[in-house]
Amino acid sequence: MISGHRGARALAPENTLAGMNLAADCGVEWIEIDTQLSKDGIPVIIHDKTVNRCTNGRGKVASLTLEQLQSLDAGSWFDPHFATETIPTLSQTLELCTNRGLSLNLEIKIYHPREAEPLIDAIADVIKQHNYPAEKLLLSSFDIATLQLCQTHLPEVRRGYICDTWNNKRLAKLANLDLFSIHIDHRILTPEIAETIKQQGLILKVWTLNDPSQAERMYGMGVDNIITDNPPLFMAKQ
């Protein structure tokens, strides 16, 4: 019922192997992380369009090779204790998830529409290399066109639609995606929206909830999974 957001963002630098391991240590079933392509076409785990905020480097992720990206310190900005952390690849992440028994909610970050297809193809290659089980994976995106590409290129992997706005007309736009889940900003979730989503037989996830006093209200509305920066605060409230 709990997902660690960007690993365990309150406890370790986001989207690092240390954060994912800490989430696993907390006993979560799922982690949510963000992926995009390096300049040389390798899926890497980082949220922003640039490396500026979360590393000691500068520049666009899409303009840097894997070697350049992995030469950066992705942990010191959070705490010097994490100085050896680097930007992980998707491949390293799947290995960690396999070893730690984690399920992976992989958010596909698209900063330009042309990025979607090569990224999804590269993700598919890595999944195949690892023979990673589809039932331990969920591909998610804010972008409907990206989810359509996932449906055609990786039909066996479940899809989740992420949103921070909602109206019931949205369901018609999502109808052909054969979704597994809706991941909604907890601040906009109402009992009516939750009921509409649950009536469609969809799994309902909320992000990014860090106030454990809200957990009971969320579960009461039918929320299946809480995506949080701070998993330990929620583990006792499932």
Shortest approach of ligand G3P to residue 183 CB, angstroms? 5
Q: Which of 5, 81, 112, 130 is catalytic?
A: 5
Say whether 5 is catalytic. Answer: yes
146: left (phi over 0), alpha (psi -120 to 50) or beta: alpha
Amino acid letter for position 232: P
Q: Judged by CB under 5 A, which of 55, 107, 158, 182 binds Mg ion?
A: 107
Closest-approach residue to ligand G3P (CB): 207
> By CB neighbour count within 10 A (0-12 exposed, 13-18 middle, 19+ buried), where does 62 fall?
middle
Q: Judged by CB under 6 A, which of 140, 181, 225, 228 binds ligand G3P?
A: 140
Q: Judged by CB under 6 A, which of 30, 78, 132, 207 binds ligand G3P?
A: 207
Q: Which is nearer to ligand G3P, 65 or 184 (CB)?
A: 184
DSSP string, 162-196: EES---TTHHHHHGGG--SEEEEEGGG--HHHHHH
**Which segments within 38-189 are labelled E, that is strand?**
43-45, 103-108, 137-141, 158-163, 181-185
Q: Which is nearer to ligand G3P, 50 or 71 (CB)?
A: 50
Q: Judged by CB under 6 A, which of 4, 12, 32, 203 binds ligand G3P?
A: 32
116-130 and 144-153 helices, crossing angle to 10°: 40
Q: Is 130 in the site for ligand G3P (CB under 6 A)?
A: no
CA distance 101 to 3: 13
Q: Is 34 in the site for ligand G3P (CB under 6 A)?
A: yes
Say whether 47 is catalytic. Answer: yes
**Which residues are catalytically annotated?**
5, 47
| Residue ranges binding ligand G3P (CB under 6 A) | 5, 32, 34, 47, 107, 140, 162, 183, 207-208, 227
